[in-house]
Structure 1
Amino acid sequence: MRSRLIATVLFVLVAAGCSAAVSAKDGATERPALVEAIAGKSVKSVTLTELAVKRVGVETTTIAAAPGGTVVPYQAVLYTPDGNTWVYTATGPRQYAREQVTVATVGGNAGTDAFLSAGPAAGTTIVKIGVIELYGAELGVGK
């Protein structure tokens, strides 16, 4: 039941924010997200148009150092149906790629921090708002 609810929410969010083609200034239509394979990885790179970034409301932050690992806002952590945990790292202008993390514990400021025991290094820029929309775009939801 919960997985169906998550899938439905994911579809609605992506369909509303990323799936429709937008008109470019020259009258041609432009897809809001370009999804490309990354050599040697099972995840894909997602590059958003400027308009898609604004519509989705993408916000980023940096991974902070913490005793025994690193810390990210809990809202930046994506749980996939197979139980794995991920964050989206910024790999270029408006370009993002999913990186696996290991959540050691959740806590901090009213449970809003995820303390990681494995994942990208402190200082890495990650997405904190727009994660589920990036995941939907990466998977092709709404096509």
Structure 2
Amino acid sequence: MNDRRPTGLLVLCLLLAPGVAACEASAAAPEADPPAVVQEVPGSDVKTVRLSDDAADAVGIETATVGRAAAPGKLRIPYAAVLYYLDGSTWAYRVEEKNTFRRVPIRVESISGDVATLTAGPPVGSTVVVVGATEVLGAELEISGEQ
């Protein structure tokens, strides 16, 4: 576990014994990174969501690679990566970089077992979120888990 308390500051505070009470607040552990940072994508109504390492681990993010379907021009992704939005549109979260995700529109042609065949979506070779996509959506929409 990474203990990020400023021990040097604590030692300095102890050496200045009369001012120990004043030092306690500044010697406290720094605030942890927020679990999610949501940023606007210029010219779009979707946002990028960056999860902290701890949040990504807690959610259990798992990903898969977008593949080419047997039919020309079609894509394949795990059905678990498909998100249905409030208006019925379908989306998936593409991995932009480590723990950073962007919701992209997809068009589902068919579902067979645990595989969705798409007529539109992220390019072959892209990485999409399979486990944890609903939690990423909740972070994007700024929905607290306590509601």
TM range (shorter): 0.7 to 0.9
Is 1:104 the counterpart of 2:83? The answer is no
Structure with higher RCO (Cα < 8 A, 6+ apart): 1
Aligned match of 1:82 in 87, 109, 130? 87
Which is greater in Rg? Answer: 2
Give the TM-score, by structure 2 length. Answer: 0.76
Residue identity opposite 2:143 in structure 1: V
Runs of at least 4 residues off by over 2 Å:
24-27
Shift of 1:41: 1.1
Structure with a larger share of its residues in strand: 1
Unaligned 5+ segments in structure 2 are 6-28
Give the TM-score, by structure 1 length. Answer: 0.78
Shift of 1:94: 0.8
Aligned match of 2:4 in 25, 41, 55? 25
Q: Look up the match of 1:91.
A: 96
Inter-partner Cα distance in structure 2 for 1:36 and 1:98:
12
Inter-partner Cα distance in structure 2 for 1:126 and 1:112:
15
The count of aligned residue pairs is 117
CA RMSD of aligned residues (A): 1.4
Query: Any idea what the Cα deviations from partners look like across 1:55-110, whole Å, max 9, x if unmatched?
Result: 00001110000123000000000001100000000011110000000000001xxx
Residue identity opposite 1:72 in structure 2: I
Shift of 1:25: 3.3
Identical columns (%): 37
Structure 1 residue matching 2:87: 3-state secondary structure: coil
Inter-partner Cα distance in structure 1 for 2:114 and 2:32:
39
Q: Look up the match of 1:138.
A: 140
1:47-86 maps to which residues of 2 (within 5 A)?
47-66=50-69, 67-68=71-72, 69-86=74-91
Shift of 1:31: 1.1
Unaligned 5+ segments in structure 1 are 1-23
Residue identity opposite 1:96 in structure 2: F
Inter-partner Cα distance in structure 2 for 1:29 and 1:52:
11
Inter-partner Cα distance in structure 1 for 2:98 and 2:115:
26
Shift of 1:29: 3.1
Shift of 1:114: 0.3
Shift of 1:45: 0.3
